[in-house]
Amino acid sequence: NAGVTQTPKFRILKIGQSMTLQCTQDMNHNYMYWYRQDPGMGLKLIYYSVGAGITDKGEVPNGYNVSRSTTEDFPLRLELAAPSQTSVYFCASSYSENEKLFFGSGTQLSVL
Amino acid sequence: GQNIDQPTEMTATEGAIVQINCTYQTSGFNGLFWYQQHAGEAPTFLSYNVLDGLEEKGRFSSFLSRSKGYSYLLLKELQMKDSASYLCAVMDSNYQLIWGAGTKLIIKP
């Protein structure tokens, strides 16, 4: 099992550009999450999904969008990149809502 | 508001024991997690406590007191590879995880 696969690992965007962060898991987990991690702060939940076709906002959803067309995939879309979106992004999955999270390797995104 | 507090940084010596504390104030409680995160890597699961008491797993142990809103992670026989950040996270009444900022543990030879 590959676990949670997240791409790309690094990306530099110009202000106003768009991009999609890809996330796929092969553990048949229903729950998937997108977090951002900024220096000196705890992980912040952007969006989450409890199953295919179901998504919901987390703590910091502004400027992002997600979709969940299959159990395996949960891409994160940035439409108009802003410097405030410079961060490290992690995708994660879990079997159920109170089970441990499995994380992808992370994406370091810089918006300049 | 909901809050998780843990020390920003700690230093310990190889072979010694270190205790990393975590205090929390959340809307309800459905469990507390500890994760380890090496620099530039993703967090990995260490432990989960939902009932009061001590959970032991090899060199690592985690303690929970729900009445005090307090947990600690105990690392014994420290090794250089234990140099990492340790993240405390509490699951609230809505099953949302609230994360602490993490404690950076520096191990010296």
> In degrees to the nearest 10, what's the CA dihedral of A77, A47, A52, A13?
20
Per-residue confidence (pLDDT) for residue A47, from 0 to 100? 98
Per-residue confidence (pLDDT) for residue A97, from 0 to 100? 86
Contact B30 A40 (CB under 8 A): no
The pair of structure tokens assigned to A102 is 């499995």
pLDDT digits (tens, 9 = 90+) for A15-73: 999 999 999 999 999 999 999 999 888 899 999 999 999 999 999 999 999 999 999 99
pLDDT digits (tens, 9 = 90+) for A33-48: 999 999 888 899 999 9
The pair of structure tokens assigned to B42 is 């993703």
Q: For residue A106, list chain B residues with Cβ-Cβ distance below 8 A.
A: 41-42
Per-residue confidence (pLDDT) for residue B45, from 0 to 100? 97
Distance CA A44, CA A49 (A): 15
Distance CA B89, CA B48 (A): 10
Distance CA B99, CA A107 (A): 19
pLDDT category at B2 given cuts 50, 70, 90 is confident
Residue B44 reports pLDDT greater than 80:
yes
Q: Is the dihedral of CA B44, A35, B8, A108 positive or negative?
A: positive
CB nearest to B43's CB, from A44, A97, A103: A103
CB B90 within 8 A of CB B82: no
Residue linked to tokens 């202000």: A15
CA distance, residue B103 to nearest chain A CA (Å): 10
Residues in chain A: 112
pLDDT digits (tens, 9 = 90+) for B62-91: 999 999 999 999 999 999 999 999 999 999
Report the residue of chain B nearest A88, measured CA to CA.
B40
pLDDT digits (tens, 9 = 90+) for A81-108: 999 999 999 999 999 988 999 999 999 9
What single string gives the DSSP state of each residue in A75-111?
-EEESS--GGG-EEEEEEEESSTTSPPEE---EEEEE
